[in-house]
Amino acid sequence: MAQQEPVTSTVEDGIAVIRIANPPVNALSAAVRGGLAREAGAAAANPAVRAVVVTAEGRTFIAGADITEFGKPPVPPTLPEAIAALEDLSKPVVAAINGAALGGGLEVALGCHARVAAPSARLGLPEVKLGILPGAGGTQRLPRLIGAVPALKLMTAGDPVSAAEAKTLGILDEVAEDVVAAARALALRLADGARPTPASAAANTGDREAFEAAAAAMAKKGAENPSIAACIDAVRAAFDKPFEEGMAIERAHFLRLRDDPRSKALRHAFFAERAAARIPGLPKGTQPRPVARAAVIGGGTMGGGIAMSFANAGIPVTLIETSEENLQRGLERVAGNYATSVKRGSLTEEARAKRMGLIEGRVGLEAAAGADVVVEAVFEEMGLKKEIFGKLQEIAKPGAVLATNTSYLDVDEIAASTSRPGDVLGMHFFSPANVMKLLEVVRGAKTAPDALATAVEVGRKLAKVPVVSGVCHGFIGNRMLARRTSQAERLLIEGALPEEVDAALNAFGFRMGPFAMGDLAGLDIGWRIRQATGKKAPVADALVEAGRLGQKTKRGYYDYSGDGRTGTPDPEVRALIERVSAEQGVTRRSIPQQEILERLLYPMINEGARILEEGIAARAGDIDTVWLNGYGWPAGTGGPMFYADGVGLPGIVARLRDFAGSSGDDTLAPAALLVRLAEEGGSFAALDEKAAA
């Protein structure tokens, strides 16, 4: 079947309206770029055309370059060429921005001679989030149009702004409900007057010193993030060089960054996150159940954070506790969190009042009766959870989704305590729940398809990144984390120190290593779980037994007696670790950083492979999405499974065999799937592609 032409134009009353229709988001594919250049040429050649309007169909104006084309052989025209075809027209060209104008989409608009946007439109240059920089003139036109400092801020933050903000910044000429009508009117006015100055020739770059100060303030970020450094360099050229030279500098940065492994990893993360939203095995036409109201059982830190997530999304929520006293404590914590946000300037007083108004506190489970989704967030105790779900079967209204926020307990066992297991599933939020993006949605053996679809949809409404997991101890994230935790403990016993282990992960890109993280979370959490499950971790147990619970007691793996938050290595801990090594009959040795890294990461990758072969996760990309959004895995390496492909699976298999052999720990032996992929020359990415086809 012939592909429908994605760019068309009609001429009416002297105006050519060029329309882009390339669903789902009007990305700038080769056909769109070619269509824009062709229609620009047609408008130039048609004497009946006095002015041009560029607009698009659907909710988006243009979401940017077609990211799926990166890494494939280039097809002309390039985007800068297509934009030049519009900008170079001697007739005025007005962008009618009907929805999001992102990346190359905003660059198309900047190549037009004027811009009108719908009030709901959002405009931004998110390229840094993909490890690149605006590569179609954004770094040259935007500074010339609105000033180098605001332009640099916009492109280095990567977050879009509203139409109203864009108008204030000077990106837009008008904001109007009927963008095409407003753009037509503006285009005619421009056709009657002098030719407007294109952004490439505008002279608003502004004060050089202010720019250098802004650039200096970003120097640290620039050192960590090559995209930011490139943005600074390219925008500087807007002061120093003619437009064409600036364009060449931008292009060189763009091509270099696009082909860098870091950008490939970030693009993988983008698509993996979107693929995770597709739930495999749902019957066709499964619709989520309507959700107008939520209830959260348990007003602790977690429950309060979950209630805030609902309120932040505009969903009324009942926070339920067992006593008036606990309820007040929970509500006060929530109120305190919001007050802090107002103080920091990240929340307006009006929004705070609205959100608090959506949270109703109640004592007693009966208050869950009106909710369409109930999230239980009480202690990790199976007996307690079963009791609550047993009661909920009577209290919750028919069709309500009954979710547990357990982080490792058996969701099927919880479901079995009700007469409606089809409504039961896990919604595993990450702490702090109002901030962290990840939501593991745990699909029980009896979870109804529409209950599952509801939980995923609710997750999206809460601005979370939902990933579906099957039932197993710890689900996707914590099950893999457990492998890292036990290796971290082993490394201490064999000869490493906490600061060496943490440093290896910091060097890899994690903000926090396992021990700094443990101290922050509280070492008693893991200790309690080990007590309940009969597991041992000699070093961690000894620390807890010595009253070293982490930051909250000012002592854990590190000493926090300074400011309470900065840990320093503690000779007492070293002595304690050396004592445990001696007790275990281990002769301590110095362990190189690379070995530490491999010991921490490869067993996690191995567990990820088992999670895949058991069908707990549907895709390797889902595992990456979990780690990128819930555990601070460094984005530039794409997540554990993507990283494993890059390292090479045969090498990982060989190392795991070494580890298993030298430790006698069978859990370190490579998973069958990992071995098979390594032997076949396969990869996790190829496995996902095959599954998607």
Interaction site with ligand TC6 (CB under 6 A):
24-25, 27, 60, 63-68, 79, 100, 102-104, 126-127, 130, 135-136, 254, 271, 274
Residue 549: exposure state from Cβ atoms within 10 A (0-12, 13-18, ≥19):
buried
Least distance to ligand TC6 from the beta carbon of 247, Å? 11
**136 or 442, CB closer to ligand TC6?**
136
Q: Is 525 exposed, middle or buried (0-12, 13-18, 19+ CB in 10 A)?
A: middle
Q: Is 64 left (phi over 0), alpha (psi -120 to 50) or beta?
A: left
Active-site hit among 5, 12, 39, 107: 107
Rounded least distance, CB 126 to ligand TC6, Å: 4
Do residues 83 and 198 lie in contact, with contact meaning Cβ atoms separated by under 8 Å? Answer: no
The residue (of 68 and 197) whose beta carbon lies closer to ligand TC6 is 68
Q: Which residues of 60-78 are buried (b: 16+ CB within 10 A; e: fewer)?
A: bbbbbbbbeeeeeeeeebb
> Shortest gap between Cβ of 274 and ligand TC6 (angstroms)?
4
Q: Is the Cβ–Cβ distance between 401 and 371 less than 8 Å?
A: no
Residue 79 or 488 with smaller CB distance to ligand TC6:
79
If you search the block for the tokens 């009661």, which residue do you land on?
391
- Of 271 and 527, which CB lies nearer to ligand TC6 in the complex structure? 271
In terms of CB distance, is 257 or 358 closer to ligand TC6? 257
CB 429 within 8 A of CB 306: yes
The reply to whether 127 belongs to the active site is yes
Instruction: Please tell me which residue in 12, 57, 69, 127 is annotated as part of the active site.
Output: 127
Nearer to ligand TC6, 239 or 271 (CB): 271
- Minimum CB separation from ligand TC6 for residue 124, in Å? 8
Distance CA 88, CA 67 (A): 26
Contact 149, 211 (CB under 8 A): yes
Q: Minimum distance between the CB of residue 68 and ligand TC6, rounded to whole angstroms?
A: 5
- Closer by beta carbon to ligand TC6, 135 or else 670: 135
The residue behind tokens 């960054």 is 257
- Least separation in angstroms between residue 26's CB and ligand TC6 is 9
Q: Show the tokens assigned to 196.
A: 């407007």
Residues forming beta bridges with residue 20, ordered by sequence position: 7, 56
The answer to whether 373 and 294 have CB atoms below 8 angstroms apart is yes
d(CA 203, CA 170): 13
- Residue 19 pairs in a beta bridge with 8, 55
Q: Which residue, among 426, 515, 520, 550, has the nearest Cα to 477 in the 3D structure? A: 426
Distances (CA, A) of 333 to 302, 341, 431, 630: 11, 13, 14, 23
Alpha helices per DSSP H over 179-242 = 179-192, 208-217, 219-224, 226-240
Q: How far is the CB of 398 from ligand TC6 (least distance, A)?
A: 31
Q: Please state, in angstroms and rounded to a whole number, the distance separating the CA atoms of residues 598 and 648.
A: 13
- β strands within 276-367, DSSP E: 294-297, 317-321, 359-363
* Min separation Cβ 166 and ligand TC6, Å: 15
3-state secondary structure of 134: coil
* 164 vs 290: CA distance, rounded Å: 32
Residue 114 parent element (H or E): strand 114-117
Residue 205 C-beta: closest distance to ligand TC6, Å: 21
Active site residues: 107, 127
